Amino acid sequence: MQELGFILWAVTVMAALNVMMIAVTLGVKAARGLRRRRIKARIERLEAALDYSLLSGEVHPALRHLGNRDLDLLAIMMVEYLSLLRGAERDRLVRLAKETGLVRAYFDELRSPGRWRKARAAENLGYFGGPEAVAPLASLLAHRDETLRAVAARALARIGTLETAEALAQTLNDPSELTRLRMAENLERIGPLAVGSLSETLEHGNPPARVLAARVLGNLRAFEIRPALREALLVESFPDLRAQAAFALGKIANPDDIPALLEASADVAWPVRAQVANALGAIGDVSTIPILQKLTVDREWWVRLNASRALANMGPAGEKALARLLEGEDRYTRDRTAATLEERGITRRAVGELDAPGEKGEGARAMIRAMVRAGAVSYLERLVRTLPDEGARDALRRTMREARES
């Protein structure tokens, strides 16, 4: 009887616990549903007031004296609206953010001890703060928290003035590599307005800052900065800067910079020679083909790779130059050249032109024969098996046979 009583007691307790768990679960769900409905109602109320304010140009009474939660909801809505609005309507929305106290609240939060509140305030001031937010946001670029520095940099880039560019350019001297990279990214977002500050950094910054400045200037295609980049090519003590300056000149792609790049092609540092090859390929002037051919036999693999790819960028003249390299004595150069021809689709195109009349067909046959003599036949043999055009397969077999018999 005692065992039966204990079992009944245990069952009763388990049933009671299950009932309690069900009640708690239902209560939590009900609370969540009520919270969602309240948030939805607040959003609908704020949205209606925001639409009224944008249409009328007057601040709706419901947008005055909002609590922190409603201010946060309003900020989310305004950021969404900013992605859709342009011109006068966008300016009106920014003014509305100030008139509702939203901007003032975020300026206050910048002084908060909590880093996430600071970060949220900085993020939103990038949308609504305007020029008056530049100084307080710039002060956060020296904060000990790297995430907060990144948020402040992004906010400054959204404001996008000369002052924000100057503040971000100064942080390219930061000891943290991650911070420097983030600042460079945001300077690039600012665009042409950042060129002046970047030029100053290129000339007077510390070594890592100068490299990043050269990179961003190249990405911005800053035509007017080319003389400074050519000067950077001559900084003997800093090969990384010389390499980045060469790459930037290639991005800008002005033929007038070719003489400086040709001189740099003999640089003692292989990264510089590698970037010179990239730059010459980007400019695409066929007069540089002899130098690129010379770089394809460089002792460093990256230089050979970049030079081969640069030649492939130069159309028929570059392709002919690559075909001639297949006849060279250096096995590594031959292999690299064959790989470049294959990966750029030049080999496959040449196979389709083997029976073409005139110079086109002669050039295609010369290239395939050179590949066979160089021993680069794996890809050609795969094409013999897989090409859908039977005529092209026959032409390829014939050309390969002729090359082996000659």
pLDDT digits (tens, 9 = 90+) for 257-296: 999 999 999 999 999 999 999 999 999 999 999 999 999 9
The CA angle 127-128-129, to the nearest 5 degrees, is 110
d(CA 332, CA 57): 71
Q: What is the mean pLDDT of residues 110-116?
A: 85
The CA angle 53-58-62, to the nearest 5 degrees, is 60
Q: Which of 78, 84, 167 is nearest to 124 (CA)?
A: 78
- pLDDT at position 177 is 87
- pLDDT at position 187 is 94
Could you read off the pLDDT of 214-231 as tens digits, one per residue? 999 999 999 999 999 999
Q: Which of 257, 181, 184 is nearest to 223 (CA)?
A: 257
Looking at residue 329, the DSSP 8-state letter turns out to be S
Q: Which of 375, 306, 367, 366 is nearest to 341 (CA)?
A: 367
Half-sphere exposure of 262 (CA within 13 A, CB side): 13
- pLDDT at position 161 is 92
- The type of residue at 49 is A
Could you read off the pLDDT of 145-170 as tens digits, one per residue? 888 999 999 999 999 999 999 999 99
Half-sphere exposure of 129 (CA within 13 A, CB side): 31
Architecture of the structural domain at 68-159: Alpha Horseshoe (1.25)
d(CA 55, CA 174): 46
Give the number of residues written for the chain: 406
Alpha-carbon dihedral angle through residues 143, 147, 152, 157, given to the nearest 10 degrees: 140
Exposed, middle or buried by CB within 10 Å (0-12, 13-18, 19+), for 33?
A: exposed
d(CA 77, CA 46): 9
Answer whether 140's CB lies under 8 Å from 120's CB.
no
Answer whether 300's CB lies under 8 Å from 332's CB.
no
d(CA 372, CA 130): 66
- pLDDT at position 327 is 86
d(CA 92, CA 52): 12
Alpha-carbon dihedral angle through residues 398, 399, 403, 406, given to the nearest 10 degrees: 60
Answer whether 226's CB lies under 8 Å from 211's CB.
no
Q: Which residue has the higher pLDDT, 4 or 356?
A: 356
d(CA 212, CA 228): 14
- pLDDT at position 5 is 64
Answer whether 246's CB lies under 8 Å from 282's CB.
no
Q: What is the largest CA-CA distance in the chain?
A: 109
- Which pair of tokens denotes residue 261? 């790049």
First to last CA, the chain: 107
d(CA 71, CA 65): 9
Q: What is the mean pLDDT of residues 358-378?
A: 89
Could you read off the pLDDT of 16-66 as tens digits, one per residue? 777 788 777 777 777 677 767 777 777 778 788 778 777 787 888 878 777
